[in-house]
Amino acid sequence: MPVKEVILLGNSELRKKSTKVNFSDENLNDHLHDLRDTLNYLQKTKKIGRAIAAPQIGWKRNVIFYNLPKKSFYMINPKILFKSGEIFEVWDSCFCFEVAFFVQIERYKKIEVEYFDREAVKKVETFTDDLSELIQHEIDHLNGILATDHLKDPKKIIMRSEWERRFK
Ligand SMILES: [Zn+2]
C-alpha cells in the first residue's frame, strides 16, 4: 500500500471535520493500510512520532492509527466520554508541522474514550499521562483542530533541535 503525503500546517484541508467510518465501506482496508504504512514511514524517516490521524493524509474519516513501542492499534470513531479536571503541560508536535517545532500546551491528564477497533468491536478505555495527551492530539485532528490552536503563550514554541537539547 502506498505511503501518503502528509498535509501541512496552513492547508485548509486540515481544518475540515472528519466523518464516521462505515465498516461496510469496501475501500476501508486499503485506507487503513495506507494510514499504517504512512505512519511507519514517518517514524522511520523522522525518528519520532507515535500516531497518525486519517485527515493528515487527506482521508476525512474518524480513524487514528497508533504505533507504540509495545502495541499498535486502530481507533475508529472515537469519542471522549470523560475528561479529568486535572490538566498538565506537555510539549507537543505534529507531522503536519514536519516535527520541526514543539509547542507547550495544556492537556487533560486522564480521559475515558469509547472507540471501535478494526474488527468493529466497541471498547471503552481509560488513558492517562502521555497516552492521554497523545489521544487528545489525534482526536483533535478529526475535528480540524491542531496543537498550535491550544497555544496560549506565543513564547512557548521551540525548534525541535532546541527541544532535544533541553528536554530529551
Ligand atoms: Zn498531529
* CA separation for the pair 99, 97 (Å, rounded): 5
User: How many angstroms is it from 22 CA to the middle of ligand 1?
Assistant: 23
pTM for the model stands at: 0.96
pLDDT for position 113: 98
Domains of the chain: 12-167 (3.90.45.10)
Maximum CA extent, the chain: 48
User: How many angstroms is it from 30 CA to the middle of ligand 1?
Assistant: 21
For residue 37, how many other CB atoms are within 10 A of its CB?
16
Cell readout for 109 is 491528564
Which active-site residues does the annotation give?
A: 138
User: How many angstroms is it from 153 CA to the middle of ligand 1?
Assistant: 19
pLDDT tens-digit map of 82-121: 999 899 999 999 999 999 999 999 999 999 999 999 999 9
The answer to whether 123 touches 115, Cβ cutoff 8 Å, is yes
